[in-house]
């Protein structure tokens, strides 16, 4: 670990812990009750480097959350710092709306170099407001404008963001239910089944489940009494992130491409979390070879700073000047940090490394299932890994899966934090432990993550077993 030694506000020991506690206390008192990660991780980060975060109390953690998948190169990577420093030193304006700048030009070059050729050749880019959800809104609006249609096809388990249109397309009932109309303000959404072998919507699992999901979609759209007016777009994730690291089979994705193309429905692939090497390919669409009509990008494309874009086929470029504006579309530092990150990931073959390390981690975790049967399923793609935690003695369903065990999953997460490992829960009922380490994770760090996670799972298993015996 190479975090440079600097003096902390309270350097160590009890006084440092007390200082951290009072910061946490003030946050609890003053911030919104929607605080999220801060609830599971009551730590006060002071410095970070690579995949290590150090708290103001001097405790160190391996960060397998990476800013929810934003930090492809981990914290404070030298190429990102150098790009930011160089831009600051150059005196470039830090905010320019959507004016042309050398940094934007360079970012666009770097981005287009990474795109599948068939897509890049016909691509247009639109810089959106800075968050992933802004880019999702832009993509939906673009396709509504281009097609003159309104509705959207979206999937069970999907996560697209928290603003109206993105929330409407999102699957999570928990975030929609408290909003009157359940997020309906974002427009009419037809919910389709996403292939999820372990909790198959058709109760069969495996390839057959994915085939049925495709057949259902095709027949519903073809049915003149199916109730679905031809929509403006279909939006999907090639690997569902917040949904629990659920990868769609390549064959199913190709079916979605065929079905949408045959019906003249634009296909939007949301690569906000899967992009920039995370899944073992630069863009997750490359695994299946599909060419979408639009891709939504954020998180890692800004090198850790806020940046979001949509890239789409020029055929859909029907917006009038000013049709989709926004103040924060010209973040020069994010463009410089993003261009440096995009190029580094390509130059260093980090997508390939994500594929190799991810396969190793997944295989090791999968190998623990017989010994630690609260591991119900290990899945994902590249360094986007999910471990679904189940009740090891619950009844098997028709797919051979056991019931979710969110309390045990929370115990695993808490046990990991005690061991100095930060990782997030996601998926149905928050029962999937999610690993999103930076793509630069070393072999040594990989081993530490696996060791700490295995110990925490074993501890939760013993706790569960003790509870059952009592
Ligand atoms: C696939 C996907 N789309 C959209 C978003 C929304 O991005 P943001 O949180 O930056 O609005 C997320 C966030 O996790 C995401 O995973």
Nearest to 166 by CA among 141, 130, 192: 141
What DSSP letter does each residue of 181-239 carry, written as one string? TTTGGG--EEEEPPP-GGG-TTS--HHHHHHHHHHHHHHHHH-TTS-----SEEEE-SE
Identical fold between 13-69+352-469 and 78-347? no
- Ligand 1: which residues within 6 Å by Cβ? 68, 131-133, 136, 159-161, 237, 241-242, 270, 272-273, 298
Q: Hey, where are the domains in the chain? A: 13-69+352-469, 78-347
Query: For 252-301, how does the pLDDT look when each residue is reduced to its tens digit (9 = 90+)?
Result: 999 999 999 999 999 999 999 999 999 999 999 999 999 999 999 999 99
Lowest-pLDDT range of 6-15, 303-312, 438-447: 6-15
Cα(253) to ligand 1 centroid in Å equals 20
For 251, list phi and psi in degrees, rounded to 5.
-60, -40
Cα(139) to ligand 1 centroid in Å equals 13
Comparing 150 with 464, which gets the higher pLDDT?
A: 150
In order of 392, 430, 463, the CA distances from 467 in angstroms are 12, 21, 6
- Which pLDDT does position 467 carry in this prediction? 73
Return the CATH fold of 78-347: 3.40.640
pLDDT band of 2, cuts 50, 70, 90? very low
- Which pLDDT does position 288 carry in this prediction? 98
The pTM score is 0.96
Q: Whose CA is nearest to atom 7 of ligand 1?
A: 132
Return the CATH fold of 13-69+352-469: 3.90.1150
Residue 266 CB-density burial (10 A; 0-12 exposed, 13-18 middle, 19+ buried): buried
Q: Whose CA is nearest to atom 3 of ligand 1?
A: 160
pLDDT band of 10, cuts 50, 70, 90? very low
The answer to whether residues 121 and 353 touch, using CB atoms and an 8 Å cutoff, is no
Cα(315) to ligand 1 centroid in Å equals 26
Residues 6+ apart with CB under 8 A from 305: 84, 331, 333, 334, 337, 338
Segment holding 176, helix H or strand E: helix 173-176
- Which pLDDT does position 464 carry in this prediction? 75
Q: What average pLDDT does the chain have?
A: 95
Q: Whose CA is nearest to atom 13 of ligand 1?
A: 161
- E strand intervals along 258-415: 267-270, 294-297, 309-313, 375-381, 384-389
Distance CA 143, CA 304 (A): 28
Q: Whose CA is nearest to atom 16 of ligand 1?
A: 273
């Amino acid at each position: 670990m190479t975090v440079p030694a600097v003096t902390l506000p309270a350097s160590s020991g009890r006084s440092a812990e007390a200082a951290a506690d009072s910061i946490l206390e003030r946050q609890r008192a003053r911030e919104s009750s929607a605080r999220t990660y801060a609830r599971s991780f009551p730590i006060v980060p002071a410095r970070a480097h690579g995949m290590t975060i150090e708290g103001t109390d001097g405790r160190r953690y391996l960060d397998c959350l990476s800013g929810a998948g934003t930090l492809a190169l981990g914290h404070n990577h030298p190429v990102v710092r150098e790009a930011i420093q160089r831009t600051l030193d150059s005196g470039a304006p830090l905010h320019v709306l959507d004016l042309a700048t050398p940094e934007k030009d360079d970012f666009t070059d770097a981005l287009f170099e990474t795109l599948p050729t068939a897509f890049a050749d016909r691509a247009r880019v639109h810089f959106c407001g800075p968050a992933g959800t802004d880019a999702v809104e832009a993509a939906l609006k673009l396709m509504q404008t281009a097609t003159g249609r309104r509705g959207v096809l979206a999937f069970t388990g999907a996560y697209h963001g928290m603003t109206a249109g993105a929330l409407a397309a999102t699957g999570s009932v928990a975030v929609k239910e408290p909003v009157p109309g359940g997020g309906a303000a974002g427009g009419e959404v037809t919910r389709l089944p996403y292939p999820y072998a372990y909790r198959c919507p058709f109760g069969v699992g495996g390839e057959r489940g994915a085939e049925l999901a495709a057949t259902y979609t095709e027949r519903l759209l073809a049915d003149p009494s199916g109730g679905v007016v031809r929509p403006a777009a279909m939006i999907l994730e090639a690997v569902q992130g917040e949904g629990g690291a659920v990868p769609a089979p390549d064959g199913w994705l190709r079916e979605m491409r065929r079905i949408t193309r045959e019906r003249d429905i634009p296909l939007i692939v949301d690569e906000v979390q899967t992009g920039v090497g995370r899944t073992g390919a630069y863009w997750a669409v490359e695994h299946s070879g599909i060419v979408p009509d639009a891709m939504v990008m954020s998180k890692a494309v800004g090198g850790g700073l806020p940046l979001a874009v949509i890239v789409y086929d020029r055929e859909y470029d029907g917006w009038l000047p000013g049709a989709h504006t926004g103040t924060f579309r010209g973040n020069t530092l994010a463009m410089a940090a993003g261009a440096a990150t995009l190029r580094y990931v390509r130059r260093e073959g980090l997508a390939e490394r994500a594929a190799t390390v991810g396969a190793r981690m997944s295989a090791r975790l999968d190998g623990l299932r017989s010994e630690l049967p609260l591991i119900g399923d290990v899945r994902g793609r590249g360094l986007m890994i999910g471990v679904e935690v189940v009740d090891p003695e619950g009844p098997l369903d028709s797919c051979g899966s056991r019931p979710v065990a969110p309390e045990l999953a929370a115990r695993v997460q808490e046990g990991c934090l005690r061991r100095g490992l930060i990782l997030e829960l996601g998926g149905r009922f928050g029962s999937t432990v999610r690993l999103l380490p930076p793509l630069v994770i070393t072999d040594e760090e990989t081993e530490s993550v696996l060791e700490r996670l295995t110990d925490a799972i074993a501890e939760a298993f013993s706790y569960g077993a003790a509870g059952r015996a009592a």
